[in-house]
Structure 1
Amino acid sequence: MASYLCPRDGTRADTTSLTWCCTLCGGPRDLNFEPAGPMSLNSLTGRVNSLWRYEEVLPLASPTTSLGEGRTPLVPLTDTVSAKLDYLMPTLSFKDRGAVMLAELARRLAPERVVADSSGNAGTAVAAYCARASLPCTVYVPEGTSPKKTEQIRAHGAHLEIVPGDRETTARAARAAADAPGTFYASHVFNPYFLHGTKTYVYELWEDLGGRLPDAIAVPVGNGTLLLGAALATAELHAQGLIDERPALIAVQAEAASPLATAFHTGSDDLLGAPTGTPAPTSPTLAEGIAIPCPPRARAVLAAVRASGGTFLTVTEAQIRAAQLDLAARGFYVETTGVACWAAVGGRTDLEIVVPLCGAGLKTGLAP
């Protein structure tokens, strides 16, 4: 049976609880969960063509909330760099991988309401899957969120709360609402079920590459949910003897908003100034989806990158613009956040690397 476990103080909680953070330290929790595995490539033949095909390693089974998410194409871009087309998800971003887990869990817990906060993509995903699960949902977004994303949230029937201020202000507003009795906080940052959804990204790579993984996996990092999911999957695959070595995790941030990259390259194991101070200041960036000044799982993200032998890279606004146009010229129309990894590693020839194209260009349009 799975249970919540605080990585800082060891506090445990039952997964039927609506408490959304550690009651002792207030931080995010991990999921104490052991996969039923091992899997084999042959065992996957004939299974459902969605992320739910990896049932042995998922903390939930037999979903009714699915929209067919997962199993996105893997397409070569150069001789050494390939792209995973996660913008071809039901809500047009990789956040569907985790949102379906949150909505399925919420459906089983039957709360009075669901609350989420987002810079856009996670909110649209939670809104869609709550609609699928017939759950009332409120999504908090910061002012300045792409109109296309707020339009999508409303279209799925969720109530939209636009919060004056930045992403951190929005998160605080949602967390205050999440404290109300009968509320399920569908947080893609605090709830570890989300990470067990995003880890399926790597299981799909392993299957598509015939039972192996590339030398490196590059991921854009704001709150770090895709990177932490990738770290979970590589650890599980290695523990099951399904891969010999774990790939390096290359974390990519916008230069204008790179508190984790700054901490990594200065040797810190947490955000600079944390927990009582403030991290390095951030500036507006085209990569709005990863412009997170104070990610709650910063310590875990930094540790995961170091443990993998990976690194942090940053990209400029000019590189983001150029990468978006370059991918469009190759036939891929991707939102500005989703091109960050291509901007960072597209020219590499020394490693086999996979990058995610995380969100559709229709969500933000072309960079100005």
Structure 2
Amino acid sequence: MTTYHCPQDGTRSAVSALTWRCPVCHGPWDLDFTPAPGLALNALSGRANSLWRYEEILPLSAPSVSLGEGRTPLVPLTDTVSAKLDHLMPTLSFKDRGAVMLAELARRLNPDRVVADSSGNAGTSIAAYCARAGLPCTVYVPEGTSPKKTEQIRAHGARLVTVPGDREATALAARAAAGEPGAFYASHVFNPYFLHGTKTYVYELWEDLGGRLPDTLAVPVGNGTLLLGAALATAELHALGLIASRPRLIAVQAEAVAPLAAAFHAGADDLLPGAAAAPTLAEGIAIPRPPRARQILAAVRGSGGTFLTVTEDEIRDAQRDLAARGFYVETTGVACWAAVRDGLGQGVDRPRSVVVPLCGAGLKTGMAG
């Protein structure tokens, strides 16, 4: 295992210290990690049919908690848009990519307990992988979380704590518990091992497309874990000489909760004060103040990409449209299809090829009314 470092002030911490955030600025950690050379398409034959096949680029290896996560299908939706079917992961969401990394890390550190907070999918993933690892787990969720998601969390044996209020109140409650001695905070936001799991989404695209990437990746953004993982992967692939140029990142938010889109279009480097939020069907990306906001904004700008927002009616229609095409996807998971299916909007060049993730199964939330 390597060390954590703070991207804001350079503070460092041993991973084994269970310090879940920078003690100076209280921001999220990054990881001191550089992929090993040697990854090549012709070296992948015969390897594990899971995300662990990319062993050179992962900060952990030889897991004992794998559920076979990763290697989800890539299928065309139109002549320019393809979908990555991450709703077919073991717990039915892309969060398994990062959760397996956190559970494997926790297993090696052997804490007294694991604490997580979530609007549903990340908590489900953490609960499942902690069950696999034999680790006691407590998951905090906001009131109003889909009963189907809370049922899934309980089924994996985790202790469920429902917090009155919104997603931010839930995070605060979990962080208070995470500060107690012997607790490992399995945070999909603050812990960078999660991002090194989500980056495998792009490595799979690179493999499936024969050593290249689409010119545009559209990604739903709340806390930004999939987008930052994608940015990390494209930077690594470029540095390793495995792609000639990086794809553009299109970040998608619900119009009802779009603090990052507002900051991006205002030309700001961080969140604007007093960002408004309203209820949205896209509960998984309804994050008013994402802790990695500066990194997300910088990643999108650095790729030459932009932010798009979608309305509640567009989310409903996109879910019905995907279901009619054979894909039953939860409301958060259809946001990118809602954003790109009719083009990328005024002022955005039409891509030659774009991939959208179908992030979570419709069974988790049901059809929008």
Q: Give the TM bin, normalised by the shorter chain.
A: over 0.9
Amino acid of the structure 2 residue aligned with 1:357: L
2:361 pairs with 1:360: yes
| 1:211-250 Cα distance to aligned partner (Å, 9 max, x none) | 0000100000000000000000000000000000000000
Q: Which amino acid aligns with 2:361?
A: A
Q: Which runs of 5+ in 1 are unaligned?
A: none
Aligned residue number for residue 24 of structure 1:
24
Partner amino acid for 2:302?
A
Are the aligned partners of 2:215 and 2:351 in contact in 1 as well (CA < 8 Å)? no
- Is 1:265 equivalent to 2:265 in the alignment? yes
1:307 aligned residue (274, 280, 302): 302
Cα distance in 2, alignment partners of residues 43 and 347 from structure 1? 39
Q: CA, structure 1 residues 334+311, in 2 after alignment: closer, same or farther (shift >3 Å)?
A: same
Give distance in 2, aligned partners of 1:80 and 1:95.
26
The whole-number CA distance in structure 1 between the counterparts of 2:329 and 2:247 is: 25
How far apart, CA to CA, are the structure 2 residues paired with 1:327 and 1:221? 20
Amino acid at match of 1:286: L
Aligned residues: 363
Deviation of 1:38 (Å):
3.3
Matched residue type, 1:306: R
* Gap regions ≥5 residues in structure 2: 344-349
- Is 1:289 aligned to 2:280, yes or no? no
**What is the rounded CA distance, in whole Å, between the counterparts of 2:25 and 2:253 in structure 1?**
28
**Is 1:203 the counterpart of 2:203 in the alignment?**
yes
Q: Which amino acid in the other structure matches residue 343 of structure 1?
A: A
**C-alpha distance in 2, partners of 1:323/1:204?**
25
- Alpha-carbon displacement from aligned partner over 1:185-227 (angstroms, at most 9, x marks no partner): 0000000000000000000000000000001000000000000
Counterpart in 1 of 2:50?
A: 50
In 2, Cα distance between equivalents of 1:127 and 1:89: 14
Q: Could you say which residue in structure 2 is the equivalent of 1:242?
A: 242
Structure 2 CA distance for aligned equivalents of residues 185 and 197 of structure 1: 16
- Give the drift of 1:8: 0.4
Q: Which residue of 2 aligns with 1:124?
A: 124
Rounded Cα–Cα distance in structure 2 between residues aligned with 1:247 and 1:69: 24
What's the CA shift string for 1:251-271, capped at 9, x where partnerless? Answer: 000000000000000000000
Instruction: Tell whether 2:29 aligns with 1:34.
Output: no
TM (normalized to structure 1)?
Answer: 0.98
Report sequence identity in percent: 79
Q: What CA RMSD, in Å, does the superposition of the two structures yield over aligned residues?
A: 0.7
Report which stretch shifted further, 24-33 or 195-204: 24-33
Q: CA deviation at 1:3?
A: 1.1
Separation (CA, whole Å) in 2 of partners of 1:135 and 1:67: 15
- 1:8 partnered with 2:20: no
Q: How many Å separate the matches in 2 of 1:192 and 1:172?
A: 19
User: Structure 1 CA distance, aligned partners of 2:48 and 2:94?
Assistant: 19
On the 8 A contact 2:138/2:160 being kept in 1, the answer is yes
Q: Is the 8 A contact 2:216 2:351 kept in 1?
A: no
Residue 212, structure 1, aligned to residue 212, structure 2: yes
The alpha carbon displacement at 1:2 in A equals 1.9
Q: 4+ runs of 1 displaced by more than 6 Å?
A: none
